[in-house]
Amino acid sequence: AVDDSVVTLLDYGAGNVRSLRNAIRFLGYDIKDVQKPVDILNAKRLIFPGVGAFGPAMDVLNKTGMGEALCSYIEQDRPFLGICLGLQLLFESSEENGPVKGLGMIPGVVGRFDSSNGLQVPHIGWNAIQITKDSQILDGIGSRHVYFVHSYRAMPSDDNREWVSSTCNYGDNFIASIRRGNVHAVQFHPEKSGDVGLSVLRRFLNPKSETSKKPVQGKASKLAKRVIACLDVRTNDKGDLVVTKGDQYDVREHTKENEVRNLGKPVDLAGQYYKDGADEVSFLNITGFRDFPLGDLPMLQVLRHASENVFVPLTVGGGIRDFTDANGRYYSSLEVASEYFRSGADKISIGSDAVYAAEEYLKTKVKSGRSSLEQISRVYGNQAVVVSIDPRRVYLNDPKDVEFKSIRVTNPGPNGEQYAWYQCTVNGGREGRPIGAYELAKAVEELGAGEILLNCIDCDGQGKGFDVDLIKLISDAVSIPVIASSGAGAVDHFSEVFSKTNASAALAAGIFHRKEVPIQSVKEHLLQAGIEVRI
């Protein structure tokens, strides 16, 4: 019957649910969008991906009457799957924007992770869950990792025990999923959890589809360290969009023709890295600083196509700033970011514009609220905003020689210098700015960045290892996750950066593009070194 292939989706328009739509379609289902409360009551199976913040979501549900319809749908024990905020909204209230009253179906209050003991918040990444009762849709997951991204969580208690079907450990044990009859909700993102996540969705959509395995007991685990594949993308001289790779940011071949190095097609490579086990894929539109990304339609097209087949988080960066085109039409950075999100990005990454915002903030000591970073993080949440830092090492004989934070370096400079500071750059490393990576990282955290992508121009493409001094400096200074980038040349470089610094993820480009080191070998090596990874 036609009806069997239709899923009703409650998307109240507060953010990007393209990833979920892609996953549902990938599994062979059509989507019917809820327009009015009666569509909820008529649904055969309903998915509710909560996005945005708790307060505004409840406002919409209350104003439209959808909240009431949802409650009666759930009370009738009809097939329901809530995702992320779609789980939290079922509880009595949340401390986010509040306290704010929730739908009140499940006893308990949703609270923020406690970062006072150095816990990095948001909880971003792959973590394993502990199944506490037969959850049907989680059957067979075992101790495999699923993808979380959130700052708030509900806690298990005696009052909600009958609902809780699994927990996850991050700082404390929080509720990873609930189940009662046909009503399910998960705190993680099945649509971004690779094969495991797709199997959860498949079980919900068709409970008979997967051979019913006995629920496997997951073992408690820590948040896994992530391995990220990065695709630097730009148009070459022939006008084709290619994946390129720089040598200290210089992406041109040292030949007579001086052409842009071409390492493959963006969509193909992204799909390949997903299959190879990358925990995330990042696209950096490296000429975004001069080519306006909304004019650069191929990049949006790349994102749309890549997101149809890649079910791990996708980040895109390059060119996020306010812009006035040749016809005098003004685009805000928020519009640029929204277009990236609509095209399939889960996170956006800001480079140059974040440097200007941080400089301004440090000068005036006031948060204007107008920077791209602040605006995007206000609308999409800080977990969706990465700041990409492109620093260059500047050696010093004496730390007093600069006003910026400097460190004693492990390997002295060419003239025996014992110290260095890390100068931020803009426009793909073309211009140095009067701000250090340390000052920038702390400022952007305050302005609303959820994560830092920490490159190092000196190490980029060199294959000699990450700049451990720099990564340690920054990952100790902020309480948001730091992605170590630039310089990976061998598997040991990954274990080194994870054992010596607080980096949450490590990103590489060249070694994956040139097929020198497969992602799987990196993971196996980390596992052997006793570092938790998603296999």
The number of beta carbons lying within 10 Å of the beta carbon of residue 240 is: 12
CA–CA gap between residue 535 and residue 302 (Å, rounded)? 27
Q: Let me know if 390 is a catalytic residue.
A: yes
Both tokens of 187, joined, read 């705190």
Nearer of residues 121 and 320 to ligand 1PR, judged by Cβ: 320
Q: Let me know if 191 is a catalytic residue.
A: yes
Both tokens of 117, joined, read 């003991």
- Single-letter amino acid code for the residue at 54: F
| Residues 6+ positions from 280 with CB-CB distance below 8 Å | 226, 228, 229, 312, 313, 314, 315, 505
Nearer of residues 87 and 509 to ligand 1PR, judged by Cβ: 509
CA–CA gap between residue 44 and residue 136 (Å, rounded)? 18
The residue from 11, 84, 96, 493 that is catalytic is: 84
319 in a labelled binding site: yes
Nearer of residues 40 and 385 to ligand 1PR, judged by Cβ: 385
Cβ atoms 81, 186 nearer than 8 A? yes
Helix 352-364 to helix 437-447 angle (10° resolution) is 80
In eight-state DSSP terms, residue 468 is H
Residues touching ligand 1PR, count (CB under 6 A): 34
Q: Is 246 in the site for ligand 1PR (CB under 6 A)?
A: yes
H/E stretch holding 64: helix 54-64
Please state whether 118 falls in left (phi above 0), alpha (psi between -120 and 50) or beta: left
Cβ atoms 146, 197 nearer than 8 A? yes
Q: Let me know if 189 is a catalytic residue.
A: yes
Could you check whether the bond before residue 99 is cis, i.e. omega within 30 degrees of 0?
Answer: yes
Binding test (CB under 6 A) with ligand 1PR, winner from 48, 249, 311, 404: 249
Q: Is 230 in the site for ligand 1PR (CB under 6 A)?
A: yes
Segments in 214-309 forming alpha helices (H): 266-276, 297-309
The residue from 139, 232, 296, 445 that is catalytic is: 232
Nearer of residues 9 and 471 to ligand 1PR, judged by Cβ: 471
Binding test (CB under 6 A) with ligand 1PR, winner from 16, 165, 343, 486: 486
Per-residue binding letters, 347-386, with ligand 1PR (x by CB under 6 A): --xxxxx---------------------------------
Of residues 300 through 329, those in contact with ligand 1PR by CB under 6 A are 317-320
Q: Let me know if 84 is a catalytic residue.
A: yes
Binding test (CB under 6 A) with ligand 1PR, winner from 105, 200, 242, 284: 284
CA–CA gap between residue 470 and residue 408 (Å, rounded)? 10
The number of beta carbons lying within 10 Å of the beta carbon of residue 27 is: 17
H/E stretch holding 436: strand 431-436
Q: Is 455 in the site for ligand 1PR (CB under 6 A)?
A: yes
Separation of CA 417 from chain center: 38
Nearer of residues 292 and 395 to ligand 1PR, judged by Cβ: 292
Q: Is 440 in the site for ligand 1PR (CB under 6 A)?
A: no
Nearer of residues 246 and 344 to ligand 1PR, judged by Cβ: 246
The residue from 11, 96, 139, 191 that is catalytic is: 191
Q: Let me know if 139 is a catalytic residue.
A: no
236 in a labelled binding site: no
The residue from 139, 390, 467, 469 that is catalytic is: 390
84 in a labelled binding site: yes
Q: Is 270 in the site for ligand 1PR (CB under 6 A)?
A: no
Q: Is 34 in the site for ligand 1PR (CB under 6 A)?
A: no
Q: Provide the annotated binding site.
A: 84, 319, 455
Q: Which active-site residues does the annotation give?
A: 84, 189, 191, 232, 390
- Residues engaged in binding ligand 1PR (CB under 6 A): 230, 232, 245-246, 249, 251, 284, 286, 288-289, 317-320, 349-353, 388, 390, 428-429, 455, 460-461, 485-488, 507-510
